Chain A
Amino acid sequence: MKYKATIGIECHVQLSTKTKLFAGVDNDAREAEANTLISPLCVGLPGTLPVLNEKALELAIRAGIALNAKIAEYSKFDRKHYFYPDLPLGYQITQYDEPTILSGVVEAPLPSGGSVKVRVHHAHLEADAGKSTHPVGKNYSLVDLNRAGTPLIEIVSEPDMHTAEEAKAYARELYLLMKYAGVSDVNLFYGNMRFDVNVSVSATDELGTRTETKNINSFRAVEKVVEYEIARQIKELEAGNNIDQETRGWDDNAQKTFPQRSKENAHDYRYFPDPDLPPVVISSEVVEKERALMPTMPALLRTKFSELSIDSAKVEALLEEPTIAHELENIIDAHDINTAKMIANWYSGEIARLVGEEEITWDQVIGASARLIDLVAMIDGGLLSTTAAKDILKDLISSEKSAKEIAEEKDLMQVSDSGELEMIIMQVISENQKAANDIKAGEMKAIGFLVGQVMKASGGKANPGVVQDLLRQSLGL
């Protein structure tokens, strides 16, 4: 039987505020000692009142703009009740039916070509729970509330994806959007983005029973979860079994999903509006003001970069560094296309390699932009070969010296001076009489050999175009 898979993703994004969503407590729980970043509110003491962090709201608006979403004029906070030791209030403060970010759409390019369009159902603001650890061999768990109250937005997609590739591409696109919008540090290692992946398969037009695999923190794992769940569910159905609607976890070592005991009976969260938090009203002026402050987003950059005819894998690699992508955009806007193309190739080739090897930093690369543009001009003017230019990139970027200074120091300036080249050519011809005779006899292939010999004799500094012309003259062609 032919099965169709349907995939929806919920993504939690940690907002990069200084303090928590409802308490003025440091938000950076990464390296902090347990329970040092807590307040009476964070531990749920009676008599405390939450007050919304204005920065979190501003970042939510930016996230909404990045998701091409409508921002709600009116939104409010609700209490989602469940009892768990890492949730001291006994409820999570979240947004149930009137979230700040309404429907949107994300278009993600696919490595195999084309793109996937995923509608965003909505995204809501909510406070994170604390962190629990479970010491091995003990009959107790330990709770650290440093993370309790950290601001998150949960982005809920429509079930618009049908393959593992699409799911991965959507997850990565969310990452880029949140990074460009500046709403999150998007550090996956620290769990700044966590994905819950819903998968179902069906051989008919009706949707099958879905499973939800929670807390995935890499794009690769999102892809693997989808592949695994599709295969597992088809196998179950083929064997005549039903799919249980359940929460599953992902075991990265075994590369398998496994059933998890769920926290609560299905959706018995007893939501109600939080009386402690007045509603939020956002005017269109506020949204437009924020929109005007947004940088050029990945979708538009891709369109601009497509003029450079560099391959899409390189474009995607450039987009990983927003400062570099925006610098390239500036270069495209201010210079000719060949200059931009040459620099784009350096960015995604030699320069990316040097940054990867920690020889230089992206900040230095940005600082060296004017000198890189001079370097391209030197190549265009025949003063430097592209190979020599590549060789001086590191020094050019890490020092304050100009391209000309470095090329002269390294004796790499290209020789186009015909007098100097003619001497070398005469010598090469006399040492390679056979090749010279072959050429005269019409074996034009041998000219490449002689050009190579001249280049070698010049220590790579000869301008190959000029050498070719002079050789032809000398041989009477």
Chain B
Amino acid sequence: MSNISKDDVKNIAKLSRLKLSDEEVTKYQAELEAILHYVEKLQSADTSGLEPTYQVTGLVNVLRADEEIDYGTSKKELLKNAPSQENGHFKVKRMVG
């Protein structure tokens, strides 16, 4: 179960939009395997009869009214950290051909 192939690493990298060198693929292959080995240990715990825990706060129905909130941030501030912008848009690498 915990055997990760080089192709698995490459696929995960692709899904995460990361470009990995061959050395990095080898490196992450080992690291991801180590992580999965650890998870295997967790999986050996007996959880029969237990409901999965998604939340620990015990809260339900945390709702807000359908009204505008002043977050105190301007368009300029929110765009400030974008590496590139044009005409008030975030400018990114072309997505389509």
Given the interface pairs A35-B88, A39-B71, A54-B65, the reply to whether A275 lies near B55 with Cβ below 8 Å is yes
**Chain A residue contacts of B19, Cβ below 8 A:** none
Select the stretch in A162-170, A217-225, A278-286, A365-373 that faces chain B: A278-286
A57 near B92 with CB under 8 A, answer no
- Give the docked Cα–Cα distance between A279 and B57 (Å): 11
A27's closest neighbor in chain B, by CB? B66
A278 near B59 with CB under 8 A, answer yes
Q: From residue B36, how far is it (CB to closest CB) to chain A in Å?
A: 15
Q: From residue B62, how far is it (CB to closest CB) to chain A in Å?
A: 5
**Chain A residue contacts of B89, Cβ below 8 A:** 34-35, 133, 142-144
Interface residues of B (CB under 8 A from A): 11, 14-17, 54-55, 57, 59-69, 71, 73, 75, 78-79, 84, 86-97
Interface centre among A76, A265, A279 (most CB of B within 10 A): A279
**Chain B residue contacts of A36, Cβ below 8 A:** 75, 88
A-B contact pairs, 28 of them (CB 8 A): A18-B67, A26-B68, A35-B79, A35-B88, A35-B89, A38-B75, A40-B71, A41-B71, A45-B78, A53-B64, A54-B66, A83-B16, A84-B95, A85-B93, A85-B95, A138-B94, A140-B93, A141-B95, A142-B89, A142-B92, A143-B89, A261-B96, A261-B97, A265-B14, A273-B54, A275-B54, A279-B55, A281-B61
Given the interface pairs A38-B78, A53-B63, A281-B61, the reply to whether A18 lies near B94 with Cβ below 8 Å is no
- Say yes or no: is A52 at the interface (Cβ < 8 Å to chain B): yes
- Say yes or no: is A319 at the interface (Cβ < 8 Å to chain B): no
5 closest residue pairs by CB, A with B? A24-B69, A55-B66, A142-B89, A278-B59, A54-B63
- Give the docked Cα–Cα distance between A25 and B66 (Å): 9
- Give the docked Cα–Cα distance between A26 and B69 (Å): 9
A39 near B75 with CB under 8 A, answer no
Interface residues of A (CB under 8 A from B): 17-19, 23-26, 33-36, 38-41, 43, 45, 51-57, 76, 81-85, 132-134, 138-145, 261, 264-265, 268, 270, 273, 275, 277-281
B15 near A265 with CB under 8 A, answer yes
Give the A-B pair count, Cβ closer than 8 A. 133
B95's closest neighbor in chain A, by CB? A141
- Give the docked Cα–Cα distance between A54 and B91 (Å): 34
- Give the docked Cα–Cα distance between A194 and B75 (Å): 29
**Looking at chain B's contact residues, is the secondary structure mostly helix, strand, loop, or mixed?**
loop
- Give the docked Cα–Cα distance between A54 and B65 (Å): 6
Q: From residue A311, how far is it (CB to closest CB) to chain B in Å?
A: 42
B64's closest neighbor in chain A, by CB? A51
A145 near B59 with CB under 8 A, answer no
B90 near A35 with CB under 8 A, answer yes
Q: From residue B87, how far is it (CB to closest CB) to chain A in Å?
A: 7
- Give the docked Cα–Cα distance between A279 and B68 (Å): 23
- Give the docked Cα–Cα distance between A127 and B95 (Å): 21
B92's closest neighbor in chain A, by CB? A85
- Give the docked Cα–Cα distance between A281 and B58 (Å): 12
A76 near B54 with CB under 8 A, answer yes
Given the interface pairs A33-B88, A142-B90, A143-B89, the reply to whether A19 lies near B67 with Cβ below 8 Å is yes
**Chain A residue contacts of B91, Cβ below 8 A:** 140-143
A19 near B71 with CB under 8 A, answer no
Q: From residue A83, how far is it (CB to closest CB) to chain B in Å?
A: 5
**Chain B residue contacts of A265, Cβ below 8 A:** 11, 14-15
- Give the docked Cα–Cα distance between A84 and B17 (Å): 9
- Give the docked Cα–Cα distance between A55 and B16 (Å): 34
Interface centre among A23, A132, A142 (most CB of B within 10 A): A142
**Chain A residue contacts of B65, Cβ below 8 A:** 54-55
Please name 9 further chain A to chain B contacts, defined as beta carbons within 8 Å, in addition to the given A55-B66, A280-B61, sorted by A numbering.
Answer: A25-B69, A39-B69, A83-B16, A142-B90, A142-B91, A265-B11, A268-B15, A273-B54, A275-B54
Residue of A84, A132, A134, A142 touching B86 (CB-CB under 8 A): A142
Q: From residue A327, how far is it (CB to closest CB) to chain B in Å?
A: 29
**Chain A residue contacts of B64, Cβ below 8 A:** 24, 51-54
A134 near B95 with CB under 8 A, answer yes
Q: From residue A317, how far is it (CB to closest CB) to chain B in Å?
A: 33
- Give the docked Cα–Cα distance between A41 and B71 (Å): 10
**Chain A residue contacts of B61, Cβ below 8 A:** 278, 280-281
A52 near B63 with CB under 8 A, answer yes
**Chain A residue contacts of B79, Cβ below 8 A:** 35
**Chain A residue contacts of B57, Cβ below 8 A:** 278
Given the interface pairs A141-B92, A142-B86, the reply to whether A24 lies near B67 with Cβ below 8 Å is yes
**Chain B residue contacts of A53, Cβ below 8 A:** 63-64, 66
